[in-house]
Amino acid sequence: MLDQTIETMGEVRLKDVGQVYKRGNQHEIILRKCSFDVTPGKLTVLLGPSGCGKSTLIKLIAGYENPTLGAITIDGKLVQGPGSDRTVVFQETALFPWMTLHENIMFGPVEQGANKREVSEKATKLLAKVGLKGFENKYPDQVSGGMQRRAEVARAFINNPKVMILDEPFRGLDHMSRGLMQEYYSALFEETRMTTLFVTSEVDEAIFLADRIIVLSYKPTNVKAIIDVPLPRPRQFHMLTSETYGNLKEHILGLLYEEALKGFAAGAVGTVEMEQIVEAVRR
């Protein structure tokens, strides 16, 4: 098991957070009075329509930007910039192309002065846990996109942050690779219980991974609903055919449909996406 206990995990709190950006001579309100908690040792998913401000929330919690209004705290301490208590996995790969997968995973702890031999052992174990045993000495361009994503997750975990933040990390992968990544991540989370905030626009992914789903409204964004997921752990894909899952998905799709209509009326939701949402609700 990785070196992580629930007592050391971070509690994230957002209180009446607002964010306004200036666009030329105009001001755009992205977030308005957005409040929610991320419970220590739980996997919380942020789910919302495209363009609703999910990535903005990630930047604020990571400390890359400061909110216009309100406050964000981790374990009661105000977030005022990036910190070692948070690790972010973005949509785009950040692996160093000149390093092997093993070297990439070791990079952070070694740079911080950790014992190189101990870090190497942890990196090897993590690579095995994400299904990359035997690929340790491969370079990023020698493996598939799905494998690169697994290495990214392993590199994030080895830093042992209080809060793991993932911004649609499996977006762009094919259906099978995405499903495998969900399984690998779920297994890692269930072993470590590392506080996780996971952003997605995919309902199936949200339900499969989450202990709690925070459904966001269309802009100006706030919290539309907070839903506890009653599926037991460990998570297995046969659960997605259960009555509990079906009822939960129908409820969430209804909430998203309401917000997608607002975005469509504002010209922010593409026709294809809108058609997919309508069809999903009809089913």
Per-residue pLDDT at 271: 40
Percentage of the chain surpassing pLDDT 90? Answer: 56
Per-residue pLDDT at 205: 94
User: Most confidently modeled of 88-92, 107-111, 208-212?
Assistant: 208-212
CATH number of 6-85+161-282: 3.40.50.300
DSSP H stretches of helix in 46-198: 54-62, 101-111, 116-129, 145-158, 175-192
Check whether 224 has a pLDDT greater than 60: yes
Check whether 283 has a pLDDT greater than 80: no
Check whether 117 has a pLDDT greater than 50: yes
Check whether 269 has a pLDDT greater than 70: no
Q: Tell me the domain boundaries of the chain.
A: 6-85+161-282, 97-160
Q: Helices 145-158 and 116-129: crossing angle, nearest 10°?
A: 140
Check whether 280 has a pLDDT greater than 80: no
Burial (CB count within 10 angstroms: exposed 0-12, middle 13-18, buried 19+), residue 159:
middle
Check whether 26 has a pLDDT greater than 70: yes
Per-residue pLDDT at 270: 43
Per-residue pLDDT at 268: 54
Per-residue pLDDT at 279: 47
Query: With bands split at pLDDT 50, 70 and 90, how would you rate the model's confidence at 250?
Result: very high
Query: With bands split at pLDDT 50, 70 and 90, how would you rate the model's confidence at 29?
Result: confident
CB-based contact 198:28 (threshold 8 Å) = no
**Long-range Cβ contact pairs of 256-259 (< 8 A, separation 24 or more):** 256/47, 256/48, 256/49, 256/203, 256/215, 257/281, 258/224, 259/48, 259/49, 259/52, 259/216, 259/217, 259/218, 259/224
CB-based contact 199:229 (threshold 8 Å) = no
The C-alpha torsion from 270 through 271 and 273 to 278, rounded to 10°, is 140
Q: 2 or 162, which is more confident? A: 162
Residue 31 β-bridge partners: 19, 221
Residue 72 β-bridge partners: 14
Query: With bands split at pLDDT 50, 70 and 90, how would you rate the model's confidence at 5?
Result: very low
Check whether 24 has a pLDDT greater than 70: yes
Check whether 265 has a pLDDT greater than 70: no
